[in-house]
Amino acid sequence: MPRIHDGRAPLISIGVPAYNAETFIVAALESLLAQEVTDLEVVVSDNGSTDGTERLCREIAARDPRVRYVRQPVNRGGAANFNAVFALRHPGARYFKWAAADDVHDPRYLTAVLALLEDPTVAVAHTATDDIDEDGNRIKLWGDQGIRADHPDVAVRFADLSRRNHECFSIFGLMRTELLASTHGLGMYPESDRVLLAELSLQGRLADDPRVLFHRRQHSGRSVHAYPTARSRVAWFNPGLVGRPVFPEWRLGRGYLEAALRAPLRTEDRARVLATMGGWTVSHGPKLARNLARTAVELARGEVSVRRSPARASAPAPAPGPEPARRASTV
């Protein structure tokens, strides 16, 4: 039987940021509530949905006391909602994970990742992943991406996660709550999920169970389809930046640098990690240059302004997807 907490801290808090997610959120939540590990809570932060998301979530919460539904007054953008649902967790939960409102977890998922976190050198635990279609049929099996995120050398982990294109599956992995709380969370800029994973790698390995226990849903409403480039994904991550000059690659580099500077590293390890940023600058040089050229053109055409419009800054985000961008950034 599911464990009912009556105010006691659950072992695991699962945060589900949602926006207009009525099509798949029931299947997503039911897969979390069906986990072998029952000592959990599921907190849904609804980013001002205009569809049936609220009704469906309240119905599930009425049936299972482990579900808590919170409705945000306006859509503040995807990054803010991810951070909000972490802040809404039970403060005593030992572990935390984000779960998208359209993905599906095998009932054995939490059992598998908890076993990985018994190793104190592991910072984030996840499993192998496949893509499923709207009907739940497998359309792609993801293999090894060649990212050495589980390498024992912190500089190797950071270099691979910051310099190489990869799918950010592990952003939905299980983490120790105190470790995630020590970071700056998801940044209010495009591709900040990459920066957060790199920052987490500075404190431990990103390990995966080889079994396919995480099913990523592919559908037309995903944010990566609506916003195919890092520049356009500003509207999803932070609608307050829409209409302002955006330097996505420069902001990404700054995020990596800030993460390396604030992480609790030994002096020699910090120096080696910072040295990898030189390689990052060289490999990303063309994109950095294109960012500058593109913004200069936009400013000349009046397409963006250095002044922030109060109306635009407070407007709800138009983003349809409930999940952060999980594909390689393009300029």
Distance CA 272, CA 49 (A): 45
Give the pair of three-digit tokens for residue 80.
């803010």
Q: Is the pLDDT reported for residue 230 higher than 80?
A: no
- Give CA–CA dist 217/213, Å, rounded: 13
pLDDT digits (tens, 9 = 90+) for 113-150: 999 999 999 999 999 999 999 999 999 999 989 999 99
Q: Residues 58-86: what's their mean pLDDT?
A: 96
Residues 6 or more apart whose Cβ sits within 8 Å of residue 317: 19, 47, 75, 76, 77, 78, 235, 236, 239
Eight-state DSSP code of residue 18: E
* Partner residues linked to 207 by β-bridges: 125
Question: What pLDDT band is residue 228 in, cutting at 50, 70 and 90?
Answer: low
pLDDT greater than 90 at residue 32: yes
Instruction: Report domain extents, the chain.
Output: 1-331
Residue 198: closest CA among 251, 162, 234: 162
CATH architecture of 1-331: Alpha-Beta Complex (3.90)
Minimum mean pLDDT among 89-93, 243-247, 265-269, 274-278: which range?
Answer: 243-247
The answer to whether the predicted template modeling score (pTM) of the entire model surpasses 0.85 is yes
**pLDDT for 303:** 86
DSSP code of residue 309: P
